[in-house]
Amino acid sequence: MLTKLAYTLLALSSIAAAQPLGVPHVHHQHQKREAAVAVDTVVVTVTQNANPTTLQTVMTSATTSSTASTEAEAATSSSATTSSSVAASSSASSSASSDSSSNDTSSYEDGTVEYYAGEGKGITYSPYSDSGSCKSESDIQSDIQKLTDFDIIRVYAPDCSCVSAIMGAMGSNQKVFAGLYYMDSLSSDISTLATQVKASSQGWDGIYAVAVGNEWVNSGTYSASEVASAVSSGRSLLQDQGYSGKVVTVDTIPAYENNNELCEASDFIAANSHAYWDGNVEAANSGTWLEQQIADVKSACGGSKSVLITETGWPTKGDTYGSNGVPSTANQLACIKSIAEAVPDQVIFFTAYNDLWKQPGSQNCEQYWGIFN
């Protein structure tokens, strides 16, 4: 978690100076643990000659760092104790939804943003109500049953027993891309995740991959070497729980390009990338832009590992960013359509529903990236 403003700006200055062909980028964290809201927005703008022109940090928190850490641990404990009952009650729902098939035939009308989003590989999901509290198991499962077009449902942490609830509602061809959000509670969060997964009918077969962290290097929270070490530790702890699948860290494309340790640590390149935050890309050209981003990061990481864009999308409300980053429903449709036509099998769209529990952020758009509202 970000702690001191001075530390954050120093870290961001270091990252910005290291980017050879940087573009404006905004990191919007999904920092949420049960009802403790702490959403940070970090803005880094870098010009084409690699000279940083903007360093802005907007830090809004409902708790202090120490309080948030304590609440995170308490929430993890609560999640672990309730996951068994949640998984048991969701088993019937799993049977009912097992006939659902993802990505075969869209459930939505051709030409809609939902239709084009369904052409992608996955979608991100957060299990929080507008007030920031956990959604009920039935509400989570109702949400997931509207997302049957996707092969992957990505979550950022095993909060709210969401992994258990999702696995009880998803179709037989769907998998969860699980996340571990906090380094300081990595071991306990893996235990929580394992409890939920093992109580499901699919077990670890229902997990696509596990991400250790989300934009830790980009945010300046940890160094690349610290993140690589955490990925290694997380992989070992997951193996102890019976998981033998893929483990990665999720970060931005510039973070991967400038830190080969991230490339080496991850089983595939998992990167967040949004044309909106470039500021110069028209929504309708998002697919071409993203295709180039994928090629660039693949090359920077040696060319041997596959690339999965773990977040990409466009906000429907908020302030204009740069010359072409204009939030609107029309631009969201144009963006999603363009990406779906260019690189559908390499993207997880951001995000399923609006996140009204978040703070608006520097561009007043953080709450409005939802596709299925």
Residue pLDDT, tens place only, 236-247: 999 999 999 999
- Is residue 105 classed exposed, middle or buried when 0-12, 13-18 and 19+ CB atoms within 10 A define those classes? exposed
pLDDT, averaged across the chain: 82
Split at pLDDT 50, 70, 90, the class of 107 is confident
Residue 358 falls inside a structural domain? no
Residue of 264, 311, 341, 366 marked catalytic: 311
Residue 363 falls inside a structural domain? no
Tally of CB atoms within 10 A around 69: 18
Residue 148 falls inside a structural domain? yes
Split at pLDDT 50, 70, 90, the class of 30 is low
Residue 359 falls inside a structural domain? no
Cβ–Cβ < 8 Å for 254, 296: no
How far CA 327 is from CA of 61, 136, 335, 339, in Å, comes to 25, 31, 11, 17
Range of the domain at 232: 5-349
CATH of the domain at 135: 3.20.20
311 noted as active-site residue: yes
Answer yes or no: is pLDDT of 358 > 70. yes
Nearest to 162 by CA among 183, 176, 181: 176
Tell me how many domains the chain contains.
Answer: 1
Residue 355 falls inside a structural domain? no
Residue 372 falls inside a structural domain? no
Answer yes or no: is pLDDT of 39 > 60. no
Answer yes or no: is pLDDT of 96 > 50. no
Residue 373 falls inside a structural domain? no
Residue 204 falls inside a structural domain? yes
Model-level pTM? 0.77
Average pLDDT estimate for 137-152:
98
Residue pLDDT, tens place only, 296-334: 999 999 999 999 999 999 999 999 999 999 999 999 999
182's enclosing H/E stretch is none
